[in-house]
Chains A and B, each alone.
Chain A
Amino acid sequence: MDNEKPIVDFSAIRDALGQDFKPVQVIDGQANVIKPEIVAKYTNDQLVDFLKLMIWERTLHQRSNALTRQGRLGFYAPTEGQEASEMGSNSAMKRTDVLMPAYRDIPQLIQHGLPVYKAFLWSRGHVLGNEYPEDLHAMPPQIIIGAQYVQAAGVALGIKKNGTADKVAYSYTGDGGTSQGDFYEGMNFAGAFQAPAVFIVQNNGYAISVPRRKQTAARTLAQKGVAAGIPSIQVDGMDFLAVHEVTKAAREYAAAGNGPVLIETLTYRFGPHTNAGDDPKRYRTKDEEQPWFDNDPLIRYRKYLTEQGVWSEDIENDYVEQVKADIKDAVKQADEAPKQKMTEFLGNVFEEQPQNIQQQITEYQAKESK
Chain B
Amino acid sequence: MSKKTYIQAITDALRLELGSDEKTLVFGEDVGKNGGVFRATDGLQAEFGEDRVFDTPLAESGIGGLSIGLALEGFRPIPEIQFLGFIFETLDSIAGQMSRERFRTGGTRHMPITIRSPYGGGTHTPEMHADSLEGYLAQIPGLRVVTPSNPYDAKGLLIASIRNNDPVFFLENLKLYRSMKADIPDEAYTVPLDKANVVREGTDISLIAYSAQVNQSLKVAEKLEKEGISVEVVDLRTLSPLDEDTILKSVQKTGRAVAIQEAQRQAGIAANVASLIAEKGALYLSAPVGRVYAPDTVYPFGLAEDDWLPAEDDIEAKTREILDY
Task: Mark A residues whose CB is within 8 Å of B.
Answer: 98, 100, 127-128, 130-134, 139-140, 144, 147, 149-159, 161-162, 169, 181-182, 185-186, 188-189, 192, 345, 347-352, 354-357, 359
Contact = CB atoms under 8 A, between A and B. Distances in A.
B34 to A, nearest CB: 17
A130 B62 contact: no
A87 to B, nearest CB: 25
B142 A161 contact: no
Interface string B246-283: 00000000000000000000000000000000000000
A151 B64 CA distance: 8
Contact of B61 (A133, A181, A356, A359): A181
Which are the 3 A-B pairs with shortest beta-carbon distances?
A154-B69, A150-B65, A158-B73
A155 B72 CA distance: 7
A349 B72 contact: no
A130 B102 CA distance: 10
Interface in B44-90: 51, 56-57, 59, 61-62, 64-75
Central interface residue in B64, B65, B68, B105, by most chain A CB within 10 Å = B65
A359 to B, nearest CB: 8
B57 A192 contact: yes
A347 B243 contact: no
Contacts of A345: 103
B70 to A, nearest CB: 5
Contacts of B104: 127, 130, 140
Given A130-B106, A355-B242, A186 B72 contact: no
A128 B96 CA distance: 20
Given A158-B69, A189-B57, A151 B97 contact: yes
A189 B66 contact: yes
B59 A355 contact: no
Contact of A189 (B59, B71, B106, B110): B59
Given A130-B105, A130-B106, A157-B69, A147 B62 contact: no
B288 interface: no
B165 interface: yes
B69 A152 contact: yes
Given A162-B74, A189-B57, A355-B241, A131 B69 contact: no
A193 to B, nearest CB: 8
Nearest to B56: A189
B164 interface: yes
21 contacts: A131-B107, A131-B108, A132-B108, A147-B96, A147-B97, A150-B93, A151-B65, A154-B65, A155-B70, A158-B70, A181-B59, A185-B59, A185-B61, A186-B62, A348-B107, A349-B102, A349-B141, A355-B194, A355-B244, A356-B241, A357-B241
Of B70, B75, B92, B97, the most chain A CB neighbours within 10 A belong to B70
A157 B62 CA distance: 12
A144 B61 contact: no
Given A151-B65, A154-B69, A352-B164, A144 B51 contact: no
Interface in B183-200: 193-194
B61 A354 contact: no
Nearest to A345: B103
Given A144-B97, A155-B73, A188-B59, A149 B65 contact: yes
Contacts of A155: 69-70, 72-73
Contact of B105 (A131, A352, A359): A131
Contact of A139 (B67, B72, B242): B72
B134 interface: no
Contacts of B172: none
Interface string B107-149: 1111000000000000000000000000000000110100000
A356 B280 CA distance: 13
Contacts of A154: 65-73
B69 A169 contact: yes
A26 B243 CA distance: 64
Contacts of B296: none
Given A157-B66, A349-B103, A147 B93 contact: yes
A182 B105 contact: no
A348 B110 CA distance: 10
B232 interface: no
Contact of B166 (A150, A159, A350): A350
B69 A156 contact: yes
A153 B66 contact: yes
Interface centre among A150, A181, A352 (most CB of B within 10 A): A150
Given A153-B65, A181-B61, A159 B102 contact: no
A185 B65 contact: yes
Contact of A354 (B92, B110, B241): B241
Nearest to B194: A354
B69 A188 contact: no
Given A154-B70, A154-B73, 18 more contacts: A130-B108, A133-B108, A134-B108, A144-B92, A144-B97, A147-B96, A151-B69, A152-B69, A153-B69, A156-B69, A169-B69, A185-B61, A189-B65, A189-B66, A348-B102, A350-B142, A351-B102, A355-B243
A186 B74 contact: no
A147 to B, nearest CB: 6
Nearest to A136: B108
Nearest to A185: B62
B324 interface: no
A180 to B, nearest CB: 9
Nearest to B73: A158
Nearest to A161: B51
A3 B106 CA distance: 69
B59 A348 contact: no
A133 B97 CA distance: 20
Contacts of B56: 189, 192
Contacts of B65: 147, 149-151, 153-154, 182, 185-186, 189
B96 to A, nearest CB: 6
A207 B211 CA distance: 45
Contacts of B97: 144, 147, 151
Contacts of A139: 72, 105, 109
